[in-house]
Structure 1
Amino acid sequence: MGYVKSLLLFICLFTGLSVNAHNQVVTPALQERLSRAEPDELIRVNIRMSEQYDSKVLYDKASRVSTRKERRELVAKELKVFSETHQKDLLSFLDHQEKSMQVSQVKPLWIVNLVNCYATVVVIRQLEEFPGVERVDYDKVQQILDTGWETSPIMSADKLTPPEIAWNINLIGAPQVWEDGYTGEGIVVAVLDTGVNAGHADLTGRMWEHPEFVNHGYNFVEDNHNTHDYHGHGTHCAGTVAGNGAAGTITGVAPEATIMALKVLSNQGSGTEAGVWEAIGFSIEHGADIMSLSLGWPHGAEPDRAAWRIAMVNAMNAGVIASVAAGNEGNGGMGTQPPPNNIRTPGDCPAPWTHPDQIAEGGNSAVVTVGATTSADDVAGFSSKGPVTWQNVNPFNDYPLTQGLFVPDVVAPGHEILSLVHNSNSGYTVKSGTSMAAPAVAGLMALMLSKNPLLTPEEISQILEETAVPLHEGKNNVSGSGRIDAQAALEAVWGSIVYINHTVNDSEGNDDGLVNPGETIHLSVELSNSANGPVSNVSAMLLSDSPYVTILQGNAELGDFGENETLEFEDIFTVKIAENIPGHYEMLFTLNVFADGDTVNVWKNSFTETAWAPLLAFQAIIVDDTTYGNENGLLEPGETATLRVALKNSGQIASEPVTMKVESDSEWIIFHHPEPFDGLGIEPDSLQKAEFMVTAVHSTPLASLAEMLLTAVSGHYQVEDLQTLRIGEIPVYSQGNIPSTLNQNPTISSQAVNPGQLTVSIPHNATITSVDLEYRIVSTSGAWVRDQRSFLKCLSDGGDAESAISSGPLNNVGGAVDYSRTELPLANNVQGGGDIEFELHVFRTWGGSGSGTQYAYVPNNSWKIVVHYQLPQHEVTFQVSNQTESWVESARIDVYGETGYTNQSGEAGFMLPAGGHFYSVAADRHTGFDMIPLQVSQDGMVEVMLQRYFWATFTIKNQDGENVADASLVVAGDSIEGMEAEWLENGIYDFSVSALGYHPYDGAFVIDNSDLQVEVFLTDESLNYDDPGENVFVVYPNPVSEMLSVDFTAAEGATIRFALYDELGRLIISQSIAGNNRNERLLLDVGSLTSGVYVLTIDDGMQLLQKKVIVQ
């Protein structure tokens, strides 16, 4: 069994960084080409976008899949989606220009976020200013292949004898590897070159097959399917990778590897950068495991080194490795450059693995750079030498020149190499160059992968360098780590116990075979022995870095594996899943397998499992201003709107009930009801919506941003999302380009011929405090940026001009300059608010005469103005009363983000800016008001009338004065809990009281602008009304038309008060009688009363009895 050492991997991050930040957008090479272009000439250009996929994120995603195929597919998909998103606006622009014959052959790329096309000078100048464009470069057809290297005539081998083996194949020890059964079978090597003679006997039957690409690849030079080699270079390289000797001589290191023919160089050996980048993407998308590139751009040709490295970093993330020729400039001479520019691009890209001798720090890529040796193991004199530096190449800026990047990485035979010819199906020829060395390394990579398909580019790179035959001490800039040794490399490649499959047992959970939140699951695995021979005493260790996974049982003894044996192990691992694991989350498990307790030299496998759970995420906030605003879907200063917030469950199972809230620390936002919203659980692919009312502060500067923190809690899940709400829009000049006027010495008193004019509206009576502005000036042919002059003037009464004119930077070039100034006082003396008029005056001191946009101008939609202002404040007093003509104390008033409480006089004061507002009022035992509009233009009083409600509290006792337990109370037909009837208006209310063992009691009470205490005495069922006891009252007849009788017995000394009320609570009859321990009768004459419902109240000092009386 071989070994694996720890890998040192640096992933360079370049998302969001400017890859060409210190240079002009249009490169010098393209500038030169434009200077001699015809107006309608179409020039081939590469348009590189500033946004590139975050390579660290991509690497992490790619590491989660277990096979090379899945890794390639994932990376290709991610990069395509990313590029489509970020190229959308550019492609739309190019499509529009294509219709007017200004652009042709638009080709978007994804291996680098870049678009290739042909464009006129006018369009290229527009691309210079296009948002998101980082670099526009001349995609020149460059002569790549050396023309001076000698080749031998066509030779034919003797087919009657056993095949010979070319000397270079023997020197690196490849035949010994074949004897062990590793020949490169099943490994696809993409040869990016001049094409391949697929009809050569030594390649027949091992060319890549695909139904859509009938000639085993693609022609990126002519954009067709003709991949035949009419030059010879590509076929020779393919033969060194995989020539099997069918015509007499074995020339290939991996004679059973599969060749993918990608023609990126013409029949004369020239090509374009974009053509090769496109082929790299093709290799990844269509299943290449290895790329062989015997080509390169000299630094003197000014290649886009950043794009090359981005492409090769993405290739590494896809699990694809590249063997790249270093170049043939080692002897120097005319047209060559010394180090650090001696190695060609992309051979100057760093390797996947960082050698310990590498001093200067930096990132990694897919490239293994290959130099050339002779049959005597000497480095060929022509082989290019390092170091190289990336210190001035954004966004990488690594490998500083003090030490630089050591290259090449390895060397291989490249002098007088025998391989296949392109114009004979059985012939051979001899060529020299690093072009001949690189395919030998690609072939060795294929042998390594045929032994262990799980090898990563980093591991391949490490093994190649650590097993190479040293030609100098340590890694160096001449021979790298040494000449490759196939036998040593394959011995270092470990034959593996390979992961085949796994199954989930969640019987301790819901037993649905899926991984759900909070479950404890058992994992079964199926493994296969791919090593040469049996493996004994095999153990396994399960690992996971996922924060949602806890390994409860991660070690297992697997026993012995026979040769090629596949075994299944049931429920050998146990893991606990977190309660808050998100839906669709892929848990990455690493399975380290080792034999005889050797935990250093391990077989590394990985697999993933997907969580079935809720996946909650907020959608973008929607502003609804249809009720309180101007219905434009924007929150304007001073406007009140509803924020519609939606939480989506994109998971596979329903969530628990959710609570949502929105918070903001912004000084520009006022929440009216910030209380959290409680909602139901959310089904998969469904939304839970909530609404929050906000007002933008009246003096908010236009286009101010207010950050809103959205929070949701659902069971164990908590979701946060920070969203930005834009308040209003900045006024933008949109009447076309603003031309400049020629004036060699303009001042703020000068007048441009055609100034731009812009009106900004602010509230009336506002006081302006300052003005901010921004704009861009573009200088083109005939004027440099140093010739720009400009200033802003306020035309409204009281307005002024800027105190000084703005001059362009001292640059003797054309281009765009962005200007911005803040806190200008030029409109501070404008009174009254309303429409404020501005003019932007643009001048140039050189270039043409008069006014025009062909020299310098402010582009349309680039001039913006923000006017800052304050509104007058007014003292507003709220006075709150109710229908009882009483002031309401402690009433809460909310207005404009402030909360106040009324005093004893029912008053609360606020300072409010002029304009529209909404207020809310709430008070205990009163009706409230919510979102009542209020227009403020002066100091004043706001009178608020609330409806007071009343409480009737009942006490239920027996004739002995003891409280009656478990009594039931019904008021106006409603059962009352707690013996307290609430929220009652003035009027008469029927009630009834009942309790077990007592006579039921029916009565009525009157609410008359006050709360009421009602005491009810229940009599025992054994008590007869015909023999009333002490203080017992009987009222009859009822209904009554003339005389109402009240029979009662009252204790001596007691005073009985009788009162009769009408339906409005008005007192009609009142009478008091002293008790004397005798049966008494009170007669009340009701004959003159209007028919209706009345209430008779009897108060004996111990209880208040109320009885509804109907007068007929």
Structure 2
Amino acid sequence: MHRSSLPRLFSALALASLACAAQAREHNPLADLARDESPTDRLIVKYRDGVQPFATARGEAAIRVAGNRQGVSVRHLRAMSGGAHVMAISRAISPQEAEAMAQAISAGDPDILYAEPDHLLKPLMTPNDSYYSLQWSLSDATGGIRAPAAWDKASGSGVVVAVIDTGVRKHADFSANLLAGRDFVSTSFISNDGDGRDADAADPGDYVTAGYCSTGSAAANSSWHGTHVTGIVAATANNKTGVVGVAWGAKVLPLRALGRCGGYSSDIADAISWAAGNAVSGQPTNTTPAKVINLSLGGTAACGKTTQAAINAARAKGAVVVVAAGNEKANASTSSPANCTGVVSVAATTKAGGRASYSNYGTSVTLAAPGGDSGAAIASTWNTGTSTPGSDTYAYMAGTSMAAPAVSGVAALMLSANPKLTPDQVATLLKSSARAFPASCSGCGAGIVNAEAAVAAALAAK
């Protein structure tokens, strides 16, 4: 959520140590392998120690019979280190058929220690981005979303994700994935850029002096909130720089609806409508409509009729609307737009997989994703400026604002794998594929978003 997400710049030591680790990984890009459920044309057979020759008469018969059952012939290809032997099958067969053959061969000769398919393996996508190992939310066994296995099947390519937020700095780590976008802030009091709505979605900074927003309101530095959220969604992968986004192959449509003191729901509603390709008075046609809309924003209120109508219209265009559940440690039913109908409302979890201390909760929450907490926040793109823009950098932030774009990224991966999915199907599959919470997370929905299982479910869906 805007303002409640606290940035912490990476320490120079952390950056230096991670850079060294990244360089070491680049020397062994195939270090992580995953089984590919592809056909194979080989088996591995190992006889018990001391059995000579390689294939006894009984073993040859077992191999021949197993091959006949599958309509193939089998021949000896080569010996391996350790005493096993590779057997070539006359044609490729499915993993299930190969497993059945291996079991039949083992059962046919007690001198065989084991027989197994010689599976084809492939590299598991491990980005070479220099700060990737700081992104525990992507791959940590306990608290992560299991993104690397999903990336072997989808990258988000072909999907547009709208980020409705404070606008964006054209950070070098995601500029290749950035579309033009628009500024929907209608008043200069909030905009801080000297004008109203226009074609410039750049974030000029949302810093405020004490008392600017209201009597007694606190001073605050620029948050660069939209820049951080955008990096979580779609920072470029394998550019040996910075971080990697959940849907690193997707395009981001930045829509500025927040500025100093926040943003009006009327501006946010227009941005939602325009993002999906619906007409908005005074605005040109959106030629790159989004299939996922991320709203890392909210406030304590009922879901307004205007906001609900914009969400309904966006869903009717096929857009999945993902919303942060809120950072008030309260029931999400009191936070809008998390309490609107038809949205995917996202609570935040810690590295331990439990509910983050600040996260909203309740029956309106759809599922959860890593939002971080003290000691383990979410790493992403940022800017050095305290008021006006400075240079590109990276920072840690924590909040349901960080959890929502993780789910938006997974939704983009799903739609990249299966573009026919409807918003309701995406929501259903996100819930059914979510994994159980490893720690207490009462009121956090169906589970922690599971990118690997969600993409597999998308591929299997009609």
- The whole-number CA distance in structure 2 between the counterparts of 1:218 and 1:384 is 29
Give the C-alpha shift of residue 152 in structure 1. 0.8
Q: What amino acid is the match of 1:205? A: A
- The whole-number CA distance in structure 2 between the counterparts of 1:173 and 1:479 is 18
Give the C-alpha shift of residue 176 in structure 1. 1.3
Give the C-alpha shift of residue 469 in structure 1. 1.1
Give the C-alpha shift of residue 313 in structure 1. 1.8
Q: What amino acid is the match of 2:174? A: L
Q: Does 1:345 align with 2:302?
A: no
Give the C-alpha shift of residue 410 in structure 1. 0.5
User: What residue in structure 2 maps to residue 292 of structure 1?
Assistant: 294
Is the alpha carbon distance of 1:456 and 1:444 closer, same or farther for their aligned partners in structure 2, counting shifts above 3 Å? Answer: same
Q: Does 1:225 align with 2:199?
A: yes
Is the alpha carbon distance of 1:326 and 1:304 closer, same or farther for their aligned partners in structure 2, counting shifts above 3 Å? Answer: closer
- The whole-number CA distance in structure 2 between the counterparts of 1:247 and 1:262 is 28
Give the C-alpha shift of residue 339 in structure 1. 3.7
Give the C-alpha shift of residue 193 in structure 1. 0.2
8 Å CA contact retained: 1:203, 1:244: yes
- The whole-number CA distance in structure 2 between the counterparts of 1:339 and 1:304 is 14
Size of the aligned set, in residue pairs, is 298
User: What residue in structure 2 maps to residue 478 of structure 1?
Assistant: 443
User: What residue in structure 2 maps to residue 417 of structure 1?
Assistant: 378
- The whole-number CA distance in structure 1 between the counterparts of 2:369 and 2:352 is 11
User: What residue in structure 2 maps to residue 369 of structure 1?
Assistant: 345
User: What residue in structure 2 maps to residue 178 of structure 1?
Assistant: 151
- The whole-number CA distance in structure 2 between the counterparts of 1:243 and 1:172 is 16
User: What residue in structure 2 maps to residue 275 of structure 1?
Assistant: 267
Which has the larger share of strand? 1
- The whole-number CA distance in structure 1 between the counterparts of 2:6 and 2:425 is 36
Equivalent residue for 1:449, pick from 415, 436, 446: 415
Q: What amino acid is the match of 1:321? A: V
- The whole-number CA distance in structure 2 between the counterparts of 1:428 and 1:473 is 29
8 Å CA contact retained: 2:182, 2:199: yes
Q: What amino acid is the match of 1:206? A: N
- Deviation string 1:176-226 (CA, Å, 9 cap, x unpaired) is 12123x10011100000001112x121122111xxxxxx433343431223
- The whole-number CA distance in structure 1 between the counterparts of 2:323 and 2:254 is 16
User: What residue in structure 1 maps to residue 360 of structure 2?
Assistant: 384
Is the alpha carbon distance of 1:456 and 1:232 closer, same or farther for their aligned partners in structure 2, counting shifts above 3 Å? Answer: same
Is the alpha carbon distance of 1:314 and 1:477 closer, same or farther for their aligned partners in structure 2, counting shifts above 3 Å? Answer: farther
8 Å CA contact retained: 1:192, 1:264: yes
After superposition, where does 1:562-601 map in structure 2 within 5 Å?
none
Give the C-alpha shift of residue 145 in structure 1. 2.6
Give the C-alpha shift of residue 269 in structure 1. 4.7
Q: What amino acid is the match of 1:322? A: V
Q: Does 1:258 align with 2:240?
A: no
Q: Does 1:188 align with 2:169?
A: no
Q: What amino acid is the match of 1:417? A: I
User: What residue in structure 2 maps to residue 996 of structure 1?
Assistant: none
Give the C-alpha shift of residue 304 in structure 1. 5.6
After superposition, where does 1:1053-1072 map in structure 2 within 5 Å?
none
Give the C-alpha shift of residue 169 in structure 1. 1.3
8 Å CA contact retained: 2:184, 2:270: no
Is the alpha carbon distance of 1:269 and 1:195 closer, same or farther for their aligned partners in structure 2, counting shifts above 3 Å? Answer: farther
Q: What amino acid is the match of 1:207? A: L
Q: What amino acid is the match of 2:233? A: V
User: What residue in structure 2 maps to residue 75 of structure 1?
Assistant: none
Q: What amino acid is the match of 1:487? A: E
Q: What amino acid is the match of 2:338? A: G
8 Å CA contact retained: 1:192, 1:293: yes
**Which aligned runs of 4 or more in structure 1 are off by greater than 6 angstroms?**
none
Equivalent residue for 1:493, pick from 451, 458, 461: 458
Q: What amino acid is the match of 1:204? A: S
After superposition, where does 1:455-604 map in structure 2 within 5 Å?
455-471=421-437, 478-494=443-459, 603=462
Task: Considering Cα pairs closer than 8 Å and 6+ residues apart, tell me whether 1 or 2 has the greater RCO.
Answer: 2
TM-score (normalised: structure 2): 0.60
Is the alpha carbon distance of 1:340 and 1:155 closer, same or farther for their aligned partners in structure 2, counting shifts above 3 Å? Answer: closer
Q: Does 1:243 align with 2:235?
A: yes
- The whole-number CA distance in structure 2 between the counterparts of 1:382 and 1:194 is 22
Is the alpha carbon distance of 1:232 and 1:175 closer, same or farther for their aligned partners in structure 2, counting shifts above 3 Å? Answer: same
Equivalent residue for 2:176, pick from 185, 205, 212: 205
- The whole-number CA distance in structure 2 between the counterparts of 1:422 and 1:188 is 24
Q: Percent of aligned positions with the same letter in both sequences? A: 32
Per the alignment, in what secondary structure is the counterpart of residue 459 of structure 2?
coil
Give the C-alpha shift of residue 452 in structure 1. 0.5
User: What residue in structure 2 maps to residue 959 of structure 1?
Assistant: none
- The whole-number CA distance in structure 1 between the counterparts of 2:252 and 2:10 is 22
- Deviation string 1:474-523 (CA, Å, 9 cap, x unpaired) is 9x96210010000011111126xxxxxxxxxxxxxxxxxxxxxxxxxxxx
- The whole-number CA distance in structure 1 between the counterparts of 2:397 and 2:274 is 28
Give the C-alpha shift of residue 308 in structure 1. 1.9
Let me know the Cα RMSD of the aligned residues: 2.5
Is the alpha carbon distance of 1:372 and 1:279 closer, same or farther for their aligned partners in structure 2, counting shifts above 3 Å? Answer: same
Give the C-alpha shift of residue 251 in structure 1. 3.5
Q: What amino acid is the match of 1:264? A: A
Which has the larger share of helix? 2
Give the C-alpha shift of residue 317 in structure 1. 1.5
Is the alpha carbon distance of 1:380 and 1:460 closer, same or farther for their aligned partners in structure 2, counting shifts above 3 Å? Answer: same
Stretches of structure 2 that go unaligned for 5 or more consecutive residues are 24-127, 187-195, 206-222, 278-285, 385-389
- The whole-number CA distance in structure 1 between the counterparts of 2:148 and 2:353 is 18
User: What residue in structure 1 maps to residue 93 of structure 2?
Assistant: none
- The whole-number CA distance in structure 2 between the counterparts of 1:192 and 1:374 is 24
Is the alpha carbon distance of 1:155 and 1:455 closer, same or farther for their aligned partners in structure 2, counting shifts above 3 Å? Answer: farther
8 Å CA contact retained: 1:154, 1:421: no
- The whole-number CA distance in structure 1 between the counterparts of 2:3 and 2:339 is 18
Give the C-alpha shift of residue 258 in structure 1. 0.3
Per the alignment, in what secondary structure is the counterpart of residue 270 of structure 1?
coil
Equivalent residue for 2:137, pick from 161, 165, 168: 168
User: What residue in structure 2 maps to residue 1046 of structure 1?
Assistant: none
Q: For the pair shown, which has the larger CA radius of gyration, 1 or 2?
A: 1
Per the alignment, in what secondary structure is the counterpart of residue 176 of structure 1?
helix
Is the alpha carbon distance of 1:234 and 1:155 closer, same or farther for their aligned partners in structure 2, counting shifts above 3 Å? Answer: farther
- Deviation string 1:982-1012 (CA, Å, 9 cap, x unpaired) is xxxxxxxxxxxxxxxxxxxxxxxxxxxxxxx
Give the C-alpha shift of residue 237 in structure 1. 0.4
Per the alignment, in what secondary structure is the counterpart of residue 200 of structure 2?
coil
Give the C-alpha shift of residue 465 in structure 1. 0.2
Equivalent residue for 2:395, pick from 399, 409, 429: 429
User: What residue in structure 1 maps to residue 122 of structure 2?
Assistant: none
- Deviation string 1:850-900 (CA, Å, 9 cap, x unpaired) is xxxxxxxxxxxxxxxxxxxxxxxxxxxxxxxxxxxxxxxxxxxxxxxxxxx
- The whole-number CA distance in structure 1 between the counterparts of 2:355 and 2:445 is 10
Per the alignment, in what secondary structure is the counterpart of residue 347 of structure 2?
strand
8 Å CA contact retained: 2:2, 2:401: no
- Deviation string 1:328-371 (CA, Å, 9 cap, x unpaired) is 011xxxxxxx54754x1110023xxxxxxxxxxxxxx2x10000
Q: What amino acid is the match of 2:370? A: P
TM-score (normalised: structure 1): 0.26
Per the alignment, in what secondary structure is the counterpart of residue 437 of structure 2?
coil
- The whole-number CA distance in structure 2 between the counterparts of 1:305 and 1:472 is 35
- The whole-number CA distance in structure 1 between the counterparts of 2:149 and 2:336 is 34
Give the C-alpha shift of residue 453 in structure 1. 0.5
Is the alpha carbon distance of 1:216 and 1:340 closer, same or farther for their aligned partners in structure 2, counting shifts above 3 Å? Answer: closer
- Deviation string 1:683-734 (CA, Å, 9 cap, x unpaired) is xxxxxxxxxxxxxxxxxxxxxxxxxxxxxxxxxxxxxxxxxxxxxxxxxxxx
Give the C-alpha shift of residue 407 in structure 1. 2.1
- The whole-number CA distance in structure 1 between the counterparts of 2:444 and 2:331 is 14
User: What residue in structure 2 maps to residue 1029 of structure 1?
Assistant: none
User: What residue in structure 2 maps to residue 643 of structure 1?
Assistant: none
Is the alpha carbon distance of 1:283 and 1:477 closer, same or farther for their aligned partners in structure 2, counting shifts above 3 Å? Answer: farther
User: What residue in structure 1 maps to residue 310 of structure 2?
Assistant: 311
Per the alignment, in what secondary structure is the counterpart of residue 421 of structure 1?
strand
